Chain A
């Protein structure tokens, strides 16, 4: 056998191996249900935003980059709804999302608004509620029924708010988690025609707690605890 023959045979074998590997990878099926759940939980990673340094250029990037990402999502969704991009390419979308913006866009817009307009003490528990309470309610609905699922969701949200506001004063430690958890569950439970529950579960508690904070501030009572996450320094 000459070197040329050996190289030719090796190349053939590598092509066959490559083809088999690609076919096996294409045969992998991802479960859409758990993919959505994992996507929800993944969103909690966005809280890394608050670890980013407070330098001037970083602060500008912290506003611009999320805005650009959300703008790209808007463009993609617009094209999908127009039919320019095949709906099938978007793995995990539900059937009702064929003719309206997908929930990931609502999620992204809510996160952007929380980052830009709300203090982290309000934004963090709201994002955590969307990341974890929503899937908890969704999963437990099948096993526990609607009412118990929402009750469980309330306690999960209460715990998330409690953990974020743990440095607040005594009565605030009960009031804010209670109000926040209730608003989060209402935002998830009530179906709004033009607003997805992924948006409402974040914005409803955030707005209510913001109003509560600002209202009490007018009476010289500041309920906002110290920050939970401190930016690293460069």
Chain B
């Protein structure tokens, strides 16, 4: 039991050093949230009030969404592929 606890602690220590595993969900979720915030803001303050002043926010939101999707999909596939190889 003591040996198992040591192994668990060692695994947790190694995991804490794997910064890329902590960053990876952030890299995927934050751009999605930010882009949807921009699009939502465009809709609420622009479309609902009939103002075209906020159309730039739609552009920014779509650029962030599409741009990140183009990169994040190969990124996710690369993680899966490496696991499959094992």
Contacts and interface: CB of A to CB of B under 8 A. Distances in A.
A118 interface: no
Interface in B1-58: 1, 4-5, 7-8, 11-12, 14-15, 17-21, 23-24, 26-28, 30-31, 34-35, 37-38, 41, 45, 53-57
Tell me what chain B mostly uses at the interface: helix, strand, loop, or mixed.
helix
B51 to A, nearest CB: 10
B39 to A, nearest CB: 12
Contacts of B60: 47, 124, 228-229
Nearest to A121: B56
A224 B78 CA distance: 42
Contacts of A131: 67
Nearest to A86: B17
Interface residues of B, number: 48
Contacts, number: 134
B41 A51 contact: yes
A45 interface: yes
B59 A166 contact: yes
Given A38-B71, A131-B67, A132-B67, A18 B8 contact: yes
A84 to B, nearest CB: 16
Nearest to A226: B53
B46 to A, nearest CB: 10
Contacts of A12: 1, 4
B21 A25 contact: yes
Contact of A27 (B1, B41, B86): B86
A79 B54 CA distance: 44
Chain A: interface size category: 35 or more
Nearest to B85: A29
Contacts of B41: 51, 232
A51 B54 CA distance: 11
B11 to A, nearest CB: 4
25 contacts: A12-B4, A22-B12, A22-B15, A27-B86, A28-B79, A28-B83, A30-B24, A30-B78, A38-B28, A38-B75, A41-B71, A44-B34, A44-B68, A45-B30, A48-B37, A51-B38, A91-B18, A124-B60, A131-B67, A164-B56, A227-B56, A228-B60, A230-B53, A230-B57, A232-B41
